Amino acid sequence: MNTNNKMINNIKSKYSIYFVLIALFLFCWMANKNFVSVGNLQNISTQISVGTILAFGQTILIISGMLDLSSASVLALAGVLSISAYTSTGSLTISFLVAILVGVGCNILNGLMITKYKTPPFIATLAMMAMARGAALLYTNGQNIYQIGKYVKFGQGEILGIPTPVIFLVATLIITWYLLRHTVFGRSIYAIGGNEEAANASGIHVNRIKMRAFIINGILVGIAGVLFMSRVNGGMPNGAIGYEFKALTAAVIGGTSFTGGIGTASGTLAGAFIVGFLDNIMVLVGVNSYLQQIVRGAIIALAVMYDIWAKTKKRKH
């Protein structure tokens, strides 16, 4: 076994996702010269922002061996309640806080079901997915809330020429990166996902950390809720359907392992951009929209197969 080769292999498998991203970028550029323009790239970044913010939450949860199927539904509930708070108080601050509170509240319930009552995360968040969506529809009586006034600033504003969703995207990226890399919480998350019993036997309070992971996920879902509703110009109780899968896709393509213990914020961002580039180029070159779905599905399958193949190959060395 050659150590040098091994190191190159290590780098290859560790950074493979970024190579894929760069290759895809170059491919898109060649396929359509309109792809690389400040306007289009800004457009892609804005479009992926909501899904990617959800994906950061998923990344934290998947690393620790869990997941959240309810994020898009909770997003909708947080969004409509936030807009309702805005229309009745006129305060952007209060409406923003309401979204965060709703996101955190629902996720505390997720966390309790999982830690205290030992419900599998898949089932617990599946239940929350139905409940939160139902609550959003019940509250609005199934009607969209229009005329949201200044609320559009959250998702359609600009600061120094940068769209606000991109600013939120960068801010949540930095927070997620910081949490995973520079905190005891982050290290604990990786340990729990890697081997829960060993983490416990090393003095980590497993349930406490899992609760915190859900609370952070809740904050991210709340932010995503505000952005989404603001971008679509209204409180839509049926909005963002399927976004939880967009988020899971970005995380998984970005190298977050469903067996737990592996994943990074930057990987997830790369995963989100890969999906974003693909979606964008398919529209630019006019691919049939049904075919687009097939391509998106195939990408997930390939990403996961590659992930497992790379891992088993590494273990054989």
Partner 1 sequence: MKNTDIKLRVSGIDKSFPGVKALNQVNFAVRKGTVHVLCGENGAGKSTLMKVINGIHRPDTGEILIDEKPVEIKNPIQARSLGISMIFQELNYMPEMTIEESLFVGNWPRDKYKKIDWKEIRKRTKELLQKENLNYDPETRLKDLTVSDIQMLEILKAISYNSDIIIMDEPTSAITNKEVEVLFSKINEIKERGACIIYISHKMDEIFRIADEITVFRDGSVVDSRPIDQYDLETVISQMVGRKLENNFPKETIEIGKEILKVKGMTQKGKFENVSFHVKEGEIIGFAGLMGAGRTEVMRCLFGLDSYEAGEIHIKNEKVKIKNVKSSIDKKMVMLSEDRRRFGIIPVRSIRENVSLASLNKFIYKGWLHQKEENKAIAEFCQKMNVKAPDYETRIESLSGGNQQKVILAKWMVTNPDILIVDEPTRGIDVGAKYEIYKLMSELAKQKKALVMVSSELPELIGMCDRIYVMAKGKITGMLTRGEFTQESIMAFATGTKSQKEVN
The answer to the question of residue 187 lying near partner 1 (CB under 8 A) is yes
Taking the complex as a whole, the smallest distance from the CB of residue 17 to partner 1 amounts, in Å, to 17
The answer to the question of residue 203 lying near partner 1 (CB under 8 A) is yes
Taking the complex as a whole, the smallest distance from the CB of residue 314 to partner 1 amounts, in Å, to 8
The answer to the question of residue 288 lying near partner 1 (CB under 8 A) is no
Environment class of 189 (CB within 10 Å of its CB; exposed 0-12, middle 13-18, buried 19+): buried
Q: For 242, phi and psi rounded to 5 degrees?
A: 90, -5
Measured from the CB atom, is 75 or 199 closer to partner 1? 199
Residues 228-257 as x/- pattern, contact with partner 1 by CB under 8 A: -----------------------------x
- How many residues would you count in the chain? 317
The answer to the question of residue 12 lying near partner 1 (CB under 8 A) is no
The answer to the question of residue 301 lying near partner 1 (CB under 8 A) is no
The answer to the question of residue 261 lying near partner 1 (CB under 8 A) is yes
Rounded Cα distance, 32 and 30, in Å: 6
The answer to the question of residue 199 lying near partner 1 (CB under 8 A) is yes
Taking the complex as a whole, the smallest distance from the CB of residue 257 to partner 1 amounts, in Å, to 7
Cβ-defined contacts of 195-198 (< 8 Å, 24+): 195/261, 196/65
Taking the complex as a whole, the smallest distance from the CB of residue 191 to partner 1 amounts, in Å, to 5
Partners of 162 in the beta sheet? 159
Rounded Cα distance, 166 and 155, in Å: 9
**Angle, vertex CA 112, rays to CA 102 and CA 168, nearest 5:** 35
Partners of 235 in the beta sheet? 145
Question: Which positions touch partner 1 (CB under 8 A)?
Answer: 3, 6-7, 181-184, 187-188, 190-191, 194-195, 197-205, 257, 259-262, 314-315, 317
